[in-house]
Structure 1
Amino acid sequence: MASNRSFTGEEDVIRHAAAQIDTTKIFNVCVSRDNIVERGLKLWKRQKTGSPVNPLKITFLGEPGVDTGALRKEFLSTMVAGIEKRVFEGDAKKGKMPKYSLNDLDNELFKVAGEIFAVSIAQGGPAPRFMQEWCYEYLVSGNIKRDGVHDTEISPLIKMIEDASDLSNYTNEILDCGYTGPVNVDHKESILRALALHITTKRIPMLQQLREGLEIYDLIKVMQRKPHECHDLFVIGYDDKVDAHYILSHLAPEMSPSGSIKQVKESKIMEFFQDFLLELEDTQPEDGAAGETLSVPKIMQWMTGQAHRHLLVSEREKFKIVIKFEHCCLQHMPNHTVCYPIVSACTNTITFPVVHMVDYESFKTLLQTAVTYGASFDRV
């Protein structure tokens, strides 16, 4: 139990959560890749075979892939990112807070979100590192703080009131937020407090339901006992998105003998891959709102099932992406004109068809096509 164990950092929290997994059953979720977030939320709630306390096993409809971990990581990566957009709102740089949605509350989507967050942390997925500070403070203590509250609509009003010497121009907006006292500079502090409470208090039921979902693996108890050690798993500020260096530093290419013609071609492929990742990184939107645009994290997810850096240092140290090179595809299929890179995400392996990647443009075109249209786990 959480009360009988010491926690010195984030890794201890993750290992504790993983140790609470009940392996007597399997939590099976079979979901279509189409509309994966909405379908995933709906199917998660059924919990007919097993529950989130058990090991999660993912099957994608119509695909023969067997989940040895990559499918689970892909599902959790997609769900955590999707939940951020679906039931949270706010500025990507200043953090998110739960949407004020009574419909989502009635459907217990915030509880489901909490369960998925806990499972993701315990079972190899990403951490939900996008919340505002006040949300985390409420989850662990039940207290509401004015600091760190940012609302895309009301926060600009708060800033204008802080700087204003005359509040008469803001009377209607202030009253609409529930303030009932005098509107003048002498009561500015009370007004600012009322505006902050208007943002936060109406979202308390959503946070309470989220906290209920985080009870899995005793995670909320650990958060309450060790708020500092758990802080960076939830609050905006720590960027665990994969960059080009993270992928490149974990590549393990199976090269031909040094000096051979094959080895020269393979070296060029490796350079093409590096240039491709760097080009993607340099053209990614700074706010991270890439949408469906190809990105470095999406390349990582295509190859391995996950789009985030490994949460545990030990996992990062042993993580490798094996690079293989296919030189003989024309001998196997003499009449074909094109081959695409093939991934086995379950073994973190990618195979490049060397014959068809004679220059950077051909490499880029084939890899983009493979990633865009080859997401399914047809080859394991």
Structure 2
Amino acid sequence: MDGDISLPELLIKLQSQVDLEKITKFNINRNLVLDGARRAIKRKSFCAKSKISVKFTDDVGIAEGAVDEGGPKREFLRMLMKKIQYLHIFEGPENRRILAYSTSALEDNLYRDVGLFFSLSIVHGGPSPKFLSPVMYNALVGQAGERNIEDIADGDLRGEVQKLKDASSLQDLNKQMNAMSTLLITAGCFRPILNMQQKDKLIMDIVRFLVLERTSTPLHQLRDGLQTLDVLTYIQEHYKAFKDLFVCQGNEKLTAEMMEVVFMDIKMSVPGSNRRRDEENIVGYWRDFLIDLQGTCKIYASHLLFII
């Protein structure tokens, strides 16, 4: 389902779940940001709905600062998303990542924790994991999508499948299939090919196995974590709107709406106070500025992580 509701409106709904009266504390060493984050979510007192408060520690464990007004939290979530982007549970180009299979990561519930961190960052005003490939995002939300040889992350395997595609005769095709027989048997794709018209179906089957089916268990675990705070449900119901948060669209120009999403974590004073009225005016001026800037700005969506 994909209605007329905008991404900022969807994010406001998700972020309305946060209980500002309760706090979940994260004690983070910048050199071990993922370890600190995983330690925090495994505490019995952890609650995904509670406001996140971050303290960074130096090497001897001395905490920096006493109150998190939002800056440390955003820095932590930015560092966490960057760390996750290059984890061994993903493979492929840095802005088109797909899941990789890791038995140790499955046993350690790392895929689930990563999905949970995606949800936390989206709901608590951090950056989104804008580094998944389109085929990975489609799989995540349960949507069918076109799969190509280019989606195979392993260069050697991609080259072998390309040889199947390049085969110009039935003899060449069967020769390449025999050379790849172990892989084709593992993928359940080793079968008699009687004519060249069957070649495309064979290639799509092997691509589907290499890109998606072999990582179906990690994907299930990732989805389990992403269901935290109902984020996965929202994404599945509005998959087109949320796509911009997960898939890098290349040199797509930033829009006023996209920048509103980036700076959505606005802290206001008490309603009715003079400061609150001033702050509401400032927010209006800020949004007017974004609209005026739209169309002339030469910053692209692929640079968004550095802006944050």
TM-score higher than 0.5 here?
yes
Q: Is the 8 A contact 1:241 1:309 kept in 2?
A: no
* Secondary structure of the structure 1 residue equivalent to 2:91: strand
Q: Is the 8 A contact 2:100 2:215 kept in 1?
A: yes
**How far is 1:229 from its partner?**
0.8
Structure 1: distance between partners of 2:4 and 2:40: 30
Q: 1:60 aligns with which of 56, 63, 67?
A: 56
Unmatched 5+ residue regions in structure 2? 267-282, 288-308
**How far is 1:227 from its partner?**
1.0
Partner in structure 2 of residue 214 of structure 1: 226
Q: 1:189 aligns with which of 179, 200, 204?
A: 200
User: Greater share of helix residues, 1 or 2?
Assistant: 2
* Secondary structure of the structure 1 residue equivalent to 2:132: coil
**How far is 1:318 from its partner?**
4.0
Q: 2:46 aligns with which of 40, 45, 50?
A: 50
Larger Rg over CA atoms: 1
Partner in structure 2 of residue 25 of structure 1: 22
Q: 1:144 to 1:102 in 2, by over 3 A?
A: farther
Residue type of the alignment partner of 2:165: E
> 1:190-234: CA deviations, max 9, x gaps?
321231132111111111111111112221111111111111111
Q: Which has the higher contact order (CA 8 A, sep 6+)?
A: 2
Unmatched 5+ residue regions in structure 1? 243-307, 320-380
> 1:156-191: CA deviations, max 9, x gaps?
333332222122145332541432213676331232
Q: 1:219 to 1:116 in 2, by over 3 A?
A: same
Structure 1: distance between partners of 2:70 and 2:41: 21
Q: Is the 8 A contact 1:134 1:148 kept in 2?
A: no
Partner in structure 2 of residue 13 of structure 1: 10
Q: 1:90 aligns with which of 89, 92, 96?
A: 92
Q: 1:313 to 1:28 in 2, by over 3 A?
A: closer
- Sequence identity percentage: 22
Q: Is the 8 A contact 1:88 1:97 kept in 2?
A: yes
Structure 2: distance between partners of 1:202 and 1:144: 17
Residue type of the alignment partner of 2:232: I
1:171 equivalenced with 2:178 (yes/no): yes
* Secondary structure of the structure 2 residue equivalent to 1:202: helix
Partner in structure 2 of residue 351 of structure 1: none
Structure 2: distance between partners of 1:130 and 1:148: 19
1:311 equivalenced with 2:261 (yes/no): yes
Q: 2:214 aligns with which of 202, 208, 214?
A: 202
Structure 1: distance between partners of 2:64 and 2:193: 65
Structure 1: distance between partners of 2:239 and 2:5: 11
Q: 1:239 to 1:181 in 2, by over 3 A?
A: same
* Secondary structure of the structure 2 residue equivalent to 1:60: strand
Q: Is the 8 A contact 1:140 1:224 kept in 2?
A: yes
* Secondary structure of the structure 2 residue equivalent to 1:311: helix
Structure 2: distance between partners of 1:31 and 1:309: 28
Q: Is the 8 A contact 2:118 2:128 kept in 1?
A: yes
Structure 2: distance between partners of 1:148 and 1:15: 38
Structure 2: distance between partners of 1:73 and 1:227: 25
* Secondary structure of the structure 1 residue equivalent to 2:219: helix
Partner in structure 1 of residue 163 of structure 2: 160
Q: 1:60 to 1:28 in 2, by over 3 A?
A: same
Q: 1:231 to 1:6 in 2, by over 3 A?
A: same
* TM-score, reference length from structure 1: 0.58
> 1:260-298: CA deviations, max 9, x gaps?
xxxxxxxxxxxxxxxxxxxxxxxxxxxxxxxxxxxxxxx
Partner in structure 2 of residue 231 of structure 1: 243
Q: 1:31 to 1:232 in 2, by over 3 A?
A: same
Structure 2: distance between partners of 1:225 and 1:59: 35
